Structures are given as structure tokens and as C-alpha cells.
Structure 1
Amino acid sequence: MGQFSPNKSRIGHVMSNLESMGLTQALVCDPMSIWYLTGYYNQPLERFFALHLSADGKGGATSTLFCNKLFPDATGAANAIVTFDDTENPIPLIAAVTKSDKPLGVDRKLVAHWLLPMMDAQIASDFRLASNAVDDARAIKDDAEKDLMREASRINDEAMSWLAAQVHEGVTERKIASGLLAEYRRLGAGDHSFSPIVSFGANAADPHHEPDGTTLGKGDMVLFDVGCKRQGYCSDMTRTFFTAEPTDRQLEVYNTVRRANEAAEAIIKPGVTFAEIDLTARHVIEDAGFGPYFTHRLGHQIGLEDHEPGDVSCTHDEPVKAGMIFSIEPGIYLPGEIGVRIEDLVIVTEDGCEVLNHYSHEPQVLKA
């Protein structure tokens, strides 16, 4: 065996999920999910890359990894490694492994360029979208994953202190954003988990504002939405600061968002639905008269990717489960005036939740 090996526990969870969908085989094409199941990561670009999982009839599973010969050596990542080069058509190789008389689960990353020829070649009796089989497994973090998420959030807390210290007269959003990666790496992170959001003044009323040449203005509020990766696992946090004594209106907006964040976090425990969590925060903002200005869902699941399937929204009626990690990020966005968001990550525990971010929610006036 090489440095990679199939993760029997995770594959077993996926196979159980497939069984509940009436499936005995699946083709996983999401590179991050392949890494999750095997420890082997590769970004294939336009080339074919997939992990075939099949029930072995004995309560276990067999795995076959399909890799182009130019990919890094995948020895040990699956029970079998099938290689091919750029001149070979991988479809017959896949057909030799799949059971043509059984339906095949596929994930959302399988592009039509490969799916349609598979259908034409009749490598399975039917094709079914089965992304949830892996997504649901990835949603429940094990102890090692939780520790990495805690560490990534600890680094993010420290980085937020660095960000706050960069705010001064004459600085631009882009200047602060461009220096963050070096600070993350100094603190032990590997990379951004997404492009940092740095917003001054009215720019924060755009929830996904991209840092630009805007210079800090007198009395501007400042919003930072940032995240880093620690050994592949993501953090994500938002804090909003004042640069002068806040006006009554600024403070009203800020405190409303804070109450919404803390009210939502207070009700999280297994069995509570994602919709109930969203609505708890949303009602706080609506009761304060800012309902139309909370324009997005309350949060998203997170792990190996910053945004993973499973949102915290008023239409998601499934109950949360212990081991899930997601964001709680209410916001109020008044166009041309104010934008405030306060975001934490939480782990659902057996009887509540653990908030991963410890940077204060208290209103903070920066010495700008």
C-alpha cells in the first residue's frame, strides 16, 4: 500500500446511504469527495477522474479509482487503480467495472461530456443523482475533522485581530485584503478558504462586495468576512467594526444583528430544524423593522469546502444532527448607507452547540 488507503468507515457510511436510495453502486467524481474517501487528491481539469464504489455482497464495498496516467501516483487509494492516457477513451474501462444490469448513482460533478457517452454505452440500467450519499456523510464530522475546524477557527480569530489593526486613515480595502494571506500563513494556515471580503462604509451593504480601491472614510463602519484553511478544513467568520463613536442608527442595526446571531445559536441542538434556526434570527430582525434588509439565508454548511450542501434557510425543514458544522450569519444591508453582518461557525453537539469563533460580539470602535 502507498500513502493512500480507502477510508472504510466513510465508505461504509456512503454505502449505507446508497442502500437507502435503492443503489448498490455509484461513481464519485467530486475531487474533494474522492479525497474524503481515499486520502488522494487531484484536480483533473478536463480529464476524467472518478471513484467507483460497489457493494461486495458481504456487507462491504469494493472501490476502483480511474486516473489519467499523468496524475500523481494513486497507489493504495482504492482496491483497484485503472489508468489510461490522453489517447484512450475511458468509457470502456468504466463499463468493465460497472454492473450494466444495475442503476448507477452519479454525483453533480459528472459533466455531460462523460455522462452522455456512458448512457449511450449503457454501462448501467439507469443513472440516478446520488450526490446526497456522499454529502450526508461529509456533513457529519468525525473527531479529527472537528479538531481541524476548531484550529482553523482559532487561526481566524487571531487573524481578525490583525485585520482590525490594519484599519487606519488612507488605507484601502484592497490593501488590507492583499496582506491577509501572509498573516494566515504566519499563523499556521495554508490558504484562504475563499476570497476575503473587506468593506468600508456603504460598500458593506453589498453582502459579497469585492475589495477595491475604496479608501477608509471618516466614521466609516468596516466589515471583514474572511476564512482560512487548516490541513484542508475551512474557517469562515464575519465581524463588523466602528471607526468612530457609533450613531444611534448604526448601533441599532449592529445590536439587532447581534441579537439575531445569538438568538439563533441559543436554540441549536439535535432535532431542531434548519428552518427553525433561520426563522429565529429572521424574526429578531423583522421585529426591529429591518426584515426586508436581511436578504440571504442564515448560513451554510462547511468543512472541506467553504460552502457545502445543506443550507440554514427557512425552506430547509430537515433536523440538524450532532457533528454538523455550519455558519450563523445574519445581516442587515441598507443600500447606500450601512451593512452589518456577524458570523460564527457552530458544531452541533449532543445537547446544544459549540461556537467555534471566540472573537467578541461586543461593539468595538477601532482607532483609525
Structure 2
Amino acid sequence: MHKERVEKVLSAMQQQHISQMIISDPASIFYLLGKWIHPGERMLVLYLSLEENHKLFINELFPVHEDLGVDKVWFKDTDQPVTLLAQHMEGENVVGIDKNWPSHFLLTLMEHKSDCNYVNGSLLIDQIRSVKDSLERDLMRKASSFNDTAMGSIIHLLSSTHTEKEMAQKLLAIYEELGTEGPSFDPIIAYGANAADPHHGPGNGILKEGDSIIIDIGCKHASYCADMTRTFFYKSASEKAQKVYNIVKEANARAISIIKPGVRFCDIDAAARSYIEEQGYGKYFTHRTGHSIGIEVHDFGDVSAVNTDSVAPGMIFSIEPGIYLPGEFGVRIEDLVLVTEDGCEVLNKFSKELSVIG
């Protein structure tokens, strides 16, 4: 058990008058206990209470025998785990429920414990997870370093004889050779007109001279996710392509330049978006400027026009403006940034200068 993290959750529970928490999200359980358990359709619950009556409810199918700092309550497939959970819970109180807990578990619990008041407790943990401690920051730095190395390796393999899909397969081999835990998400490798689709899945596309190449990749290190995007050009880049690239690069820089504690996420988004709009490409920047990241590649929180929350030291999120011209090409440049006490640290060191390869 990460005692300091659990204490933060308990303190937040007390402030929000939540006496009990039912946590089922495997990522949040890993965050608090340091152990991944993937239960599938079976119930898995970390139960926390202000009375320190903490329990981990777990199916005997999962051989978790190490001491996790919390009492385990085992059950079999033939047992009624929600009934077991209800028997261990306290009386009339406010219960925080994980937003991802299946409704058939929740509805059954509400029948057993109709005297409790149920609220969405996920935001409480999400906000705590959004501020990384020193250990998490170091793991994110290392994951990003691995990703920088992988980017350098993959671009040297690009050629007109390899499809997007084949390059994605080569990337997996690179991650394995580096000793990572594999990809943190399905890689995006897109050539030419395919790069105008922000979420293009690698297919049978082949490089042609003048194509833009979007490479959006991420690996995992010690359960923490990296994410970075770079755009290259194959053999040549037209004047229009160079212009668009430099607009996106400047938008990326402008957003990063204003990041410091107290700045709102929406203002960071505006720093990138307003510049792209000024240059006449606003309607081609079709997504938010970034997302939070950590144990999950998309943690709680984002860099968007509607997020008025302020950034705080320890937060890590992406800055990834893009311009996508249908039928022509796309450009995206993405870095991960860590908010510091007086600014931010860019975790990715791979060059963002316009690069023509091949």
C-alpha cells in the first residue's frame, strides 16, 4: 500500500463528507496498492472507510498472496460478492462509488444497503492522481526517454518498401528491445493523405515523395505511459507543407511557453488554437490541445477550451496541436510537459525541427 496516497484519499473523503469509498478501477487500485489486478467481469473492490476498516474484496481465482497493506476478503465464483461487501460496510453514510463500477454490482448493493447515500467518488481520486509525486515524475521521465529513443530508431527504418502497418510492427520490436512494457496505445503511423486523419490506424499505405509522415507513439515503463508525436516529410516538403509545419510548431511552442502553476487549461488551449486560427487554419485543428497522462494514457483532465481548472505542480499532460487538410496531408507535434513550481519541464527531447527523410 502507498500509505501517503491512501492518506490523501482519506483526507479528501473527510473534506467531502464521504465516509466510505468503493474503488473498482484497476488503475486506481494499482495507484493505491501497487498491484495490478485485472478482474474481467468479476467483482474487484478496494473498500476504504474513515473508520480505517479497509478491505480488498477479491476472487480466489487471482493469486494475490503478497501483503498489500490491506486485509483481503476472498470469495469464490459461486459466492455472492456484493452481499459479502454489504456485510462489511458501515451503516447510514455517504458512499463514494467508482464511475466505472458495473451497474449490476451497484444496483445490487443499493438493494442491500438502501440506507446509504451513493455519490460518484471517482473525481476525488482522479484529482489526486492528476498530481504526480516524485516517484511518478521520474517514471514518466524515463518512459519519455525510451519513447525518444524509439522515435529515433523508427524513422531510420522508414522507406517506400514498408507499409504503415509494417512500420507499426517494427515499432513493437523496438519497444521490446529497449526493455519497455510495450506500447501504451495503438501507434498511429500515417502517410500522406492518411495523415489528415488524426486517429488513422496503420494500414497498407506506402510512402511517396512529398508525403507527410505522422508518427504518434507511446510506450509503458513500470506501468507509466509515454506519448509523443512527430511529423516528418519523405524526400521533399512543398512550400505549403513547410508553412503548415511551422505554424503547428509555433503553436506547440506558444502553448508550452505559458505553462506554469495557476494558468488555466483553457488558456493553454487558446495559446495554441488562436495562433492556428490567426494563420487561417482554425477549422483544420479538430481536437483539443492535449490530455493528461500517467498510469493511463488518457488520465483525468485535458487541455481544452472548456476546462477552466488551473494547472498545478506535478501535473503531466500533452501539448499536441495539429492541422489536418483532407485529401492532402496532416501535421501534429506533441510533447509531454510536467508542471514545475515556476514553469514546466518538457519531457520529450526529440527534435521538433522540420525534417525531410529518405
Pair in the same fold by TM > 0.5: yes
1:64-96 CA-to-partner distances (Å, cap 9, x unmatched) read 000001112244224311000000001221112
RMSD over aligned Cα, in angstroms? 1.1
Letter in 2 for 1:270: P
Counterpart in the other structure of 1:235:
226
Distance 1:197 1:124, change over 3 A: farther
**Match runs of 1:77-116 below 5 Å:** 77-116=68-107
Counterpart in the other structure of 1:15:
10
Secondary structure, aligned partner of 1:104: strand
Q: Post-superposition shift, 1:245?
A: 2.8
Secondary structure, aligned partner of 1:45: coil
TM (normalized to structure 2)?
Answer: 0.98
Q: For residues 282 and 62 of structure 1, what CA distance do their matches in structure 2 show?
A: 49
Q: For residues 165 and 62 of structure 1, what CA distance do their matches in structure 2 show?
A: 55
Secondary structure, aligned partner of 2:300: strand
Q: Post-superposition shift, 1:171?
A: 1.5
Q: Post-superposition shift, 1:218?
A: 2.2
Counterpart in the other structure of 2:35:
40
1:34-62 CA-to-partner distances (Å, cap 9, x unmatched) read 01101121100010001000012xxxx34
Q: Is the 8 A contact 1:74 1:81 kept in 2?
A: no
**Which structure 1 segments of 5+ residues have no match?**
1-5
1:124-147 CA-to-partner distances (Å, cap 9, x unmatched) read 511100101111111111111111
Q: Does 1:52 align with 2:43?
A: no
**Match runs of 1:251-262 below 5 Å:** 251-262=242-253
Range that drifts further, 319-328 or 70-79: 70-79
Q: Post-superposition shift, 1:338?
A: 1.4
Counterpart in the other structure of 2:318:
327
Q: For residues 103 and 75 of structure 1, what CA distance do their matches in structure 2 show?
A: 31
Q: For residues 156 and 100 of structure 2, what CA distance do their matches in structure 1 show?
A: 41
Which residue, out of 301, 306, 314, partners 2:292?
301
Q: Is the 8 A contact 2:210 2:238 kept in 1?
A: no
Q: Which segments of structure 1 move beyond 3 Å, counting only runs of 4 or more?
A: none
TM (normalized to structure 1)?
Answer: 0.95
Q: For residues 21 and 202 of structure 2, what CA distance do their matches in structure 1 show?
A: 41
**Which structure 2 segments of 5+ residues have no match?**
none
Secondary structure, aligned partner of 1:96: helix
Q: Does 1:196 align with 2:187?
A: yes
Counterpart in the other structure of 1:72:
63
Letter in 1 for 2:34: G
Q: For residues 162 and 210 of structure 2, what CA distance do their matches in structure 1 show?
A: 14
Counterpart in the other structure of 1:286:
277
Q: For residues 339 and 31 of structure 1, what CA distance do their matches in structure 2 show?
A: 36
**Match runs of 1:82-161 below 5 Å:** 82-122=73-113, 125-161=116-152
Q: For residues 324 and 50 of structure 1, what CA distance do their matches in structure 2 show?
A: 27
Q: Does 1:366 align with 2:357?
A: yes
Q: Does 1:183 align with 2:174?
A: yes
1:330-351 CA-to-partner distances (Å, cap 9, x unmatched) read 0001111111000000000000
Letter in 1 for 2:101: L
Q: For residues 165 and 83 of structure 2, what CA distance do their matches in structure 1 show?
A: 50
Letter in 1 for 2:46: L
Q: Post-superposition shift, 1:123?
A: 5.9
Letter in 2 for 1:246: A
Q: Post-superposition shift, 1:169?
A: 1.8
Distance 1:364 1:246, change over 3 A: same
Q: For residues 115 and 49 of structure 2, what CA distance do their matches in structure 1 show?
A: 12
Q: For residues 103 and 318 of structure 1, what CA distance do their matches in structure 2 show?
A: 26
Letter in 1 for 2:119: R
Secondary structure, aligned partner of 1:308: coil
Q: For residues 183 and 124 of structure 1, what CA distance do their matches in structure 2 show?
A: 55
Q: For residues 267 and 288 of structure 1, what CA distance do their matches in structure 2 show?
A: 20
Letter in 2 for 1:304: I
Q: For residues 306 and 115 of structure 2, what CA distance do their matches in structure 1 show?
A: 34
Distance 1:282 1:237, change over 3 A: same
Distance 1:307 1:124, change over 3 A: farther
Counterpart in the other structure of 1:3:
none
Identity %, equivalent residues: 46
Q: Is the 8 A contact 1:99 1:124 kept in 2?
A: no
Letter in 2 for 1:237: M
Distance 1:123 1:53, change over 3 A: farther
Secondary structure, aligned partner of 2:205: coil
Range that drifts further, 321-330 or 243-252: 243-252
1:166-220 CA-to-partner distances (Å, cap 9, x unmatched) read 1112210001001111111211211100001000001011000000011112221
Q: For residues 21 and 160 of structure 2, what CA distance do their matches in structure 1 show?
A: 56
Q: For residues 115 and 169 of structure 2, what CA distance do their matches in structure 1 show?
A: 49
Which residue, out of 201, 204, 215, partners 1:213?
204
Counterpart in the other structure of 1:266:
257
Q: Is the 8 A contact 2:154 2:170 kept in 1?
A: no
